Amino acid sequence: MNPRILFAALAAVSLASCGGGGASGGNSVAAAPVAAKAAPAGQNWTEVVSKTPEGGYRMGNPDAPIKLVEYGSRTCPTCGAFGQTGQKPLTEKYVTTGKVSYEFRDYLVHGQPDFAPSLLGRCTDPSAFFPLLEAMYIAQPQFEAKLADQNATNALQAQLQGKTPSQAAAAWGDYLGYVDFVKQRGIPEAKARACIADSKALDELIGLMSKGEGATVTGTPTFILNGTKIDGVSWPDVEAALKRAGA
């Protein structure tokens, strides 16, 4: 990993925040209703998942006229609130119609603590990406309790001075419990540790974060609907925007 890239990316993160991604004025006048599109025979649109050229993972009709992109952090409580309350209705009410696609892009707003969950969240088949994302958000309080322990986290940060990003990712993954978490959900430990140690995958995540739709993404979660930032960060905010777009 190029240290300059890492430094620049983490410097950008220091300017961002969890829960600070919704301040923008991009909402539009209501559009005409969009027609539903049937999924391929024998499939549900929620089962159609692929990695995008931008580095995110998209669920749903790849040609959906309404495209929702979320920049989120797996350690961000505001993102967790959306994952716990919004992911099911988003997929069940909107993605299933073929009108809306939903893409998630990891945004490392908390720096090193985000490395392991983001790498592990992508350490699976595309079909399991969104179920694992939702599971991480539902279980988020157990991870947040460890992040809130200042004495332990300060001691860990001191131990990580001079360590590589991959070593830091592994240490945080063990401390927070993410390695054990994914082991319980079908990812063998050897595979999990290989994913955490994959410097190219971490480079990709940092590159994804540094793009961040230009200057649009200043915190997490940030929702982009057909190229325009949504005002607000809650499921009601997102659903209102989807309805205005004709979903």
DSSP 8-state code for residue 230: P
Where are the strands (E) in the chain, listed by range?
17-18, 49-51, 57-59, 66-72, 100-106, 219-220, 222-225, 228-229
Identify whether the C-beta of residue 241 lies closer than 8 Å to the C-beta of residue 230.
yes
- From CA 202, how far away is CA 117, in angstroms rounded? 11
Q: What one-letter code names the amino acid at 156? A: L
Which strands, in side-by-side order, build the sheet including 228-229? Answer: 49-51, 57-59, 100-106, 66-72, 222-225, 228-229
pLDDT value, residue 20 = 66
pLDDT value, residue 168 = 96
The CA-atom distances, in angstroms, between 48 and each of 60, 70, 164, 222 are 5, 17, 36, 23
pLDDT in tens, 31-73: 899 999 999 999 999 999 999 998 999 999 999 999 999 999 9
pLDDT value, residue 2 = 44
Task: Determine whether 43 is exposed, middle or buried from the number of CB atoms within 10 Å of its CB (0-12, 13-18, 19+).
Answer: exposed
- From CA 135, how far away is CA 156, in angstroms rounded? 26
Instruction: Look up the pTM and report it.
Output: 0.90
pLDDT value, residue 123 = 97
Task: Determine whether 100 is exposed, middle or buried from the number of CB atoms within 10 Å of its CB (0-12, 13-18, 19+).
Answer: buried
Residue of 223, 235, 231, 119 whose CA lies nearest to 179: 119
CA 89, 94, 96, 102: dihedral to nearest 10 degrees?
A: -90
pLDDT value, residue 89 = 97
DSSP 8-state code for residue 39: P
- From CA 165, how far away is CA 104, in angstroms rounded? 23
pLDDT value, residue 34 = 93
Q: Is the peptide bond before 221 cis (omega within 30 degrees of 0)?
A: yes
Residue ranges, the chain, pLDDT below 70? 1-16, 20-29, 212-215
